[in-house]
Chain A
Amino acid sequence: MTEVNITIEDLANLVQGQATKVVKIAGQLDESNVDEKIQQVYKVVEENPKNLNLIFDLEGLEYMNSKSIGYLTDLYGKITEAGGKVVIAKARPNILDILQVVGLTQLIQAFDNLEAAKSAVATTKASA
């Protein structure tokens, strides 16, 4: 089983009255671990059924398999339909390349750094 670590950090004050979390994924998301590990993120979605903002910090993500792309698409659908927002930060070029080919970057904004991602979430929410 390959190693992957998912840590979830709470950014309570970024957008007032809304839950904002940074999901940090490091390692390799593959067939051996994706089903189990992704449940952490789904748990957060369940706990915050409305207006959840997720920032995926993918700096440490070396590899993601097709299933994890499927999960990401599904999470995007669930969160945005419930009024939330999903952005990606610090993804490596190969991961970004895959997401671009798959078409996910047309849906999910990707940023070079975490601050830009945070301000994107804060700005759009504030202006809403």
Chain B
Amino acid sequence: MFENTNIYSLGLSVFFAAIPAIIWLFVLFNKEETSRKTVLLIFFLGCLTPPALLLIQEGWQAFPQFNLASFIENTVHEQNLEYILIFILFGAMEEIIKLYVIASVDKHTLLIKKIGDAIRYSLAAALGFAFAENIYYLYQFWGSIGLGELTGMYIFRSIFTTCAHMIFSGIFGYYYGIGKFSIDITEQSKWTGKLDVITRLIATMFNMPISQAFKQKMVLKGLFTAVSLHAIYNFLLQYNYVPPIIIFVILGYLYLQYLLSRKAGHLILITDISNKTKSTIAKKDEDVVIELLGMWFNEKRYVDVIHICERLLERDPDNNVIKLFKAEATDKMDDSNVYKKILNNVFKSNEDLNSDDKSLIDKYTSHKDHLNKIKIFSAPPPQPSTNKKPVNTSPETKKDEKTKDSYNLNF
């Protein structure tokens, strides 16, 4: 009878935990059949991660000298600090094991070819983790607490804890995805001269190529962000600060959305070298133009950068460095538009603000007609008009183009 009750409560726990998981899985599925299978595979691998963590904790019982949690408890006597360290430890363990699922599957199958893939599969692994954890909690508290309390916990875990896990992993997935394009990004930074100190430091310390060091830095950055957010979440949970938790999850979601929209251009990157179209412009000549892109990008001439990228991509459609320049220039222009809107509201003037997306070539093409009109009424002979069509480089046009490239993850 006792065993039957156990099986019954376990079955119900699985059933109820499965409801949010199934809903989220359908959100994560896209139209491709193979992708569905992969999402499911990673979801099931994610389900195995909480039991793996439980095994590690069992191992700590058998070998107390490796028990990191008791080490913290015995060493730190200030309660809040102890909690923080414990939450960092468990946050790190959970995030690392989710990372391990993604990284190992990717390593064996070269699964991730876009940043969007990295995010989607990370979300699937996190969903698997949250599903298994929800079963564990429901089963543990089934019958031992009141139905109202159990329902409250179920709803809270189904919505907020599940979302929180997915957000942490999604953010990690984003950085992992960027790391996949390390060769292109470090190639691009060669032209802009913007290679950060940490990447150089990792490269020197571990004697690895710059692109590899950049990849490691991105993985570490993603892990550090995910672990930090996870630790903060656990800390708030410990003290039952429900409103801050809700705000925290919403902010985390908005941050993930921001990362997605900010790097929209990155998401069209594909690493399948076998499908690369050969460039129709000589390497030496292309380098001159890319060098100019770097120069003008640093001078914030984003409109010119985007236009040059578009023309260059017609000649060399699969060049990821050019795509990166275009994506980043678009992002910067969008950012500056947001700042402009804010600053416009504050200062009621946009004269100085237009310098952020200033354009050399656009300036002269659009000013040609204007100059001619002025000169008709002034002493010097009028500027001859050109029969060349001026290029439309208005930020609005760019915004539309960005929308065209934008990412369509079912989120």
A, B co-complexed: yes
Residues in A lying within 8 Å of B, measured CB to CB: 50-51, 63-67, 69-70, 73-74, 76-77, 80-81, 83, 85, 94, 97-98, 100-104, 106-107, 109, 124-125, 127-128
Instruction: Say yes or no: A101-B391 contact (C-beta < 8 A), given A69-B288, A107-B361.
Output: no
Contacting pair B381 A80 (CB below 8 A):
no
Q: How large is the interface on B (under 10, 10 to 19, 20 to 34, 35 or more residues)?
A: 35 or more
Known: A66-B292, A76-B364, A83-B381. 19 other contacts (CB 8 A): A51-B380, A63-B288, A65-B291, A67-B295, A73-B360, A73-B364, A77-B363, A101-B281, A101-B289, A102-B289, A103-B304, A106-B390, A107-B388, A124-B384, A125-B381, A125-B384, A127-B384, A128-B381, A128-B382
Docked CA distance A70–B292 (Å): 8
Q: Chain A residue with minimal CB distance to B295?
A: A66
Docked CA distance A50–B379 (Å): 12
Stretch at the interface among B176-184, B207-215, B261-269, B307-315: B307-315
Docked CA distance A24–B203 (Å): 46
Q: Is chain A's binding surface mostly helix, strand, loop or mixed?
A: helix
Among the interface residues A85, A106, A124, which one has the most CB atoms of the partner chain B within 10 A?
A106
Residues in B lying within 8 Å of A, measured CB to CB: 281-282, 284-285, 288-289, 291-292, 294-296, 304, 307-308, 311-312, 315, 360-361, 363-365, 368, 371, 375, 380-384, 386, 388-391
Among candidates B289, B384, B390, residue contacting A128 with C-beta atoms closer than 8 Å: B384
Which residues of the other chain, A, contact B291 by a CB distance below 8 angstroms?
Answer: 65-66
Which residues of the other chain, B, contact A81 by a CB distance below 8 angstroms?
Answer: 371
Q: Chain A residue with minimal CB distance to B375?
A: A83
Among the interface residues B307, B363, B365, B380, which one has the most CB atoms of the partner chain A within 10 A?
B380
Contacting pair B281 A103 (CB below 8 A):
no
Which residues of the other chain, B, contact A50 by a CB distance below 8 angstroms?
Answer: 380
Contacting pair B311 A101 (CB below 8 A):
yes
A93 to chain B, nearest CB (A): 10
Contacting pair B295 A73 (CB below 8 A):
no
Docked CA distance A128–B386 (Å): 12
Contacting pair A104 B381 (CB below 8 A):
no
Which residues of the other chain, A, contact B288 by a CB distance below 8 angstroms?
Answer: 63-66, 69, 98
Docked CA distance A128–B284 (Å): 40
- Interface CB pairs A-B, < 8 A, 20: A64-B288, A65-B288, A66-B294, A67-B295, A69-B288, A73-B364, A85-B384, A94-B285, A97-B281, A98-B289, A101-B311, A102-B289, A102-B308, A104-B361, A107-B361, A107-B386, A107-B388, A109-B386, A124-B384, A128-B382
Task: Count how many pairs of residues, one from A and one from B, have CB atoms less than 8 Å apart in the complex.
Answer: 87
Which residues of the other chain, B, contact A98 by a CB distance below 8 angstroms?
Answer: 285, 288-289
Which residues of the other chain, B, contact A124 by a CB distance below 8 angstroms?
Answer: 384
Docked CA distance A4–B54 (Å): 72
Q: Chain A residue with minimal CB distance to B393?
A: A103
B289 to chain A, nearest CB (A): 5
A118 to chain B, nearest CB (A): 15
Docked CA distance A89–B216 (Å): 50
Q: Chain A residue with minimal CB distance to B361?
A: A103
Which residues of the other chain, A, contact B296 by a CB distance below 8 angstroms?
Answer: 70
Docked CA distance A104–B311 (Å): 12
Contacting pair B380 A83 (CB below 8 A):
yes
Which residues of the other chain, B, contact A80 by a CB distance below 8 angstroms?
Answer: 364, 368, 371, 383
Among the interface residues A69, A102, A107, which one has the most CB atoms of the partner chain B within 10 A?
A102
Which residues of the other chain, A, contact B315 by a CB distance below 8 angstroms?
Answer: 101
A-B pairs, 5 with minimum CB distance: A66-B292, A124-B384, A66-B291, A128-B381, A83-B380
Which residues of the other chain, A, contact B294 by a CB distance below 8 angstroms?
Answer: 66
Which residues of the other chain, B, contact A101 by a CB distance below 8 angstroms?
Answer: 281, 289, 308, 311-312, 315
Instruction: Say yes or no: A106-B295 contact (C-beta < 8 A), given A98-B289, A101-B281, A101-B315.
Output: no
Docked CA distance A66–B193 (Å): 14
Which residues of the other chain, A, contact B292 by a CB distance below 8 angstroms?
Answer: 66, 69-70, 102
B140 to chain A, nearest CB (A): 64
Instruction: Say yes or no: A103-B386 contact (C-beta < 8 A), given A73-B361, A94-B282, A97-B281.
Output: no
Contacting pair B361 A66 (CB below 8 A):
no
Docked CA distance A67–B375 (Å): 31
A25 to chain B, nearest CB (A): 15
Which residues of the other chain, A, contact B371 by a CB distance below 8 angstroms?
Answer: 80-81
Docked CA distance A63–B282 (Å): 12
Contacting pair A66 B289 (CB below 8 A):
yes
Which residues of the other chain, B, contact A70 by a CB distance below 8 angstroms?
Answer: 292, 295-296
Which residues of the other chain, A, contact B312 by a CB distance below 8 angstroms?
Answer: 101
Which residues of the other chain, B, contact A125 by a CB distance below 8 angstroms?
Answer: 381, 384
